[in-house]
Structure 1
């Protein structure tokens, strides 16, 4: 969605968040851009806890208390405690800020049809249902429902460098931008004591840090969209494989490395 909007000149990576959300506050908040949000490096104070600590969780509060209100504004009201771009910290709130910025950039009439006109229909995705919050913003962090086959089409679009049936959907260079480890994530690795999944721009990456890869059974250039309770969309560029898993693993014990080993072993 955002890559398409950038390609059309609706918004840019340098667009300041404060332009649309003046309620931003805290240290260095005026420098925060769309690029920082895409890379989860806004510096906003945020606890991405789930069932393990719901009362201390910003995301639980956002999704279940502010669902009928404005999730992006809720996120913007949290204090900025780090210089944007310096630290990686995963935050569902930043995904919703992105979708809020897009709506404010183009207006509701064009915005509400944008995912279908510019992405889903072009990829022949027929199963898409995407919930909005009380401010009519698509919930960028959650509540997009697709069949496994339709989700795989998103992976295929990326596997083909943003081209679908000879039409360029995503801007040139977008796939490389989103699947390259960002500097804020690299900064975090100085004090890490074990392997950690790398992060690009809204994709998890299997690139190693100095302790190795989280998924050694998979190639280092594999990139993934990982959802709650074991949802997986993984793209294997060299093998030209797209892997989708729909699940409800509420115990949180999924062994992705075992799954990826099975995939790689099946190619031998």
Structure 2
């Protein structure tokens, strides 16, 4: 897969931006003292494990950035600061930022018919780009994983008869609801977005577009993104990057799409990412589920439900992935948190980790 290295020069800032710290070209790292709150954070993220490697929560990496400066960084072997870690469904939010650049270039609108950009969706003329971004296509998709593989649309898409052309596989599902009528989390919706970008920018530019549009401007040089046999990025699942590079995307989002003096993502796009889907209704069986925005997850209070992470500010939002991957943004505290992991037993809690991050780093220096 293509990888790109940015030869970044220093950025001269003036006026109100001069007080900001940016990783241009590299992060400023100022590790905090090992206070009891910091130790409590590490104790939760990196618990002692038994001789078989068991111990509940299992973090591979934990990185905390406060106001553009790394204040906490720890890894568990074999992961290191240089390891491009599988992001799983964090990939969806990464691609939303790639699409944000295309949106700012005028390549599509939220109310465009999805078939305009991906013609195999012609049988679904009411389906719009905004519906796909809200995981609200209305297609009859089953997002179950290894726990129910025989009924799983996503397992079939990633591993069996859908893997050759994942977007076409998703587009072939029959409708179960009107587009936009309800939220139904779907890796198929995300891969349809990946195929839609191809027609927006053309085949030749598509192969490098995540790098030229997003990764290179941010100074990201560890990114790898797998594509299926049709040449479409597996937007749902298969981006890899190291923790420091993923934190760059978090900082971009924390600062409303601005990178240094450049407004890389339109502020209106970031606002869309952080707006709850209007027709979302929480599942009473899953009270801790975050609220869907535009391919990002929100700690928002919505009708009929409490805040998903009660010890965390309502303004927090995140990119989340299978087995405990997390990129968390807490704008009020100017915090970005990256966690890579391999949780298998369901014991990990977003709220608990972030509560401990806030106890250790929530106060501004």
TM-score, structure 2 normalization? 0.69
Gaps of 5+ in 2: 1-97
Partner of 1:19: 116
Deviations along 1:18-38, whole A, 9 cap, x unmatched?
Answer: 234444487xx2110110000
1:14-163 correspondence to structure 2 within 5 Å: 14-24=111-121, 29-66=124-161, 68-163=163-258
Alpha-carbon distance between aligned partners in 2 of 1:111 and 1:194, rounded to the nearest angstrom: 38
Secondary structure at the counterpart of residue 246 of structure 1: strand
Over aligned residues, Cα RMSD in angstroms?
1.7
Secondary structure at the counterpart of residue 115 of structure 2: helix
Higher relative contact order (CA 8 A, sep 6+): 2
Residue-pair matches, total:
263
Distance 1:68 1:57, change over 3 A: closer
- Measured after TM superposition, the shift of residue 68 of structure 1 is 4.8
Is the 1:67–1:134 contact (alpha carbons within 8 Å) kept by the matching residues of 2?
A: no
Secondary structure at the counterpart of residue 219 of structure 1: coil
Q: What is the aligned counterpart of 1:178 among 263, 273, 276? A: 273
Q: What is the aligned counterpart of 2:291 among 198, 203, 208? A: 198
Is the 1:235–1:242 contact (alpha carbons within 8 Å) kept by the matching residues of 2?
A: yes
Alpha-carbon distance between aligned partners in 1 of 2:183 and 2:268, rounded to the nearest angstrom: 22
Deviations along 1:210-240, whole A, 9 cap, x unmatched?
Answer: 3312211111110011101100000001000
Is the 2:247–2:337 contact (alpha carbons within 8 Å) kept by the matching residues of 1?
A: yes
Alpha-carbon distance between aligned partners in 2 of 1:215 and 1:8, rounded to the nearest angstrom: 35
Is the 2:328–2:338 contact (alpha carbons within 8 Å) kept by the matching residues of 1?
A: yes
Alpha-carbon distance between aligned partners in 2 of 1:73 and 1:201, rounded to the nearest angstrom: 22
- The structure with the larger Rg is 2
Partner of 2:66: none
Is the 1:44–1:82 contact (alpha carbons within 8 Å) kept by the matching residues of 2?
A: yes
Alpha-carbon distance between aligned partners in 1 of 2:245 and 2:276, rounded to the nearest angstrom: 27
Is the 2:162–2:169 contact (alpha carbons within 8 Å) kept by the matching residues of 1?
A: no
Q: Please tell me whether residue 226 in structure 1 is matched to residue 323 in structure 2.
A: no
1:232-251 correspondence to structure 2 within 5 Å: 232-251=326-345
- Measured after TM superposition, the shift of residue 172 of structure 1 is 2.7
